[in-house]
Amino acid sequence: MSASSMNTATYTVKGMTCGHCVSSVKEEVGEVAGVTKVEVDLATGLLTVDSDGPIDPARIAAAVEEAGYEVATR
């Protein structure tokens, strides 16, 4: 698989206050099918998701909610 087929999407997560929050979000989002890498910046609330194909943002939002947080809608 070539690197060009990678998809990267960013979301803003509201409500994270500590490293444990970050771990919870990374764990839940990482379990979404197709996700290959998850990065979370606690300071900005930025969630970066790499995947091997397009992923429905609703699935990412649901995973974030499963972790107890909320994706900010633009």
Query: What whole-number distance in Å separates Cα of residue 7 and Cα of residue 68?
Result: 25
pLDDT score for 74? 64
pLDDT tens by residue, the chain, 74 residues: 445 568 999 999 999 999 999 999 999 999 999 999 999 999 999 999 999 999 999 999 999 999 999 999 76
Total domains in the fold of the chain: 1
pLDDT score for 6? 83
Range of the domain at 32: 3-72
CATH number of the domain where residue 42 is located? 3.30.70.100
pLDDT score for 4? 54
Exposure of 30 in the CB half-sphere (CA atoms within 13 A): 10
CB count within 10 Å of CB 22 equals: 21
Query: What whole-number distance in Å separates Cα of residue 70 and Cα of residue 64?
Result: 6
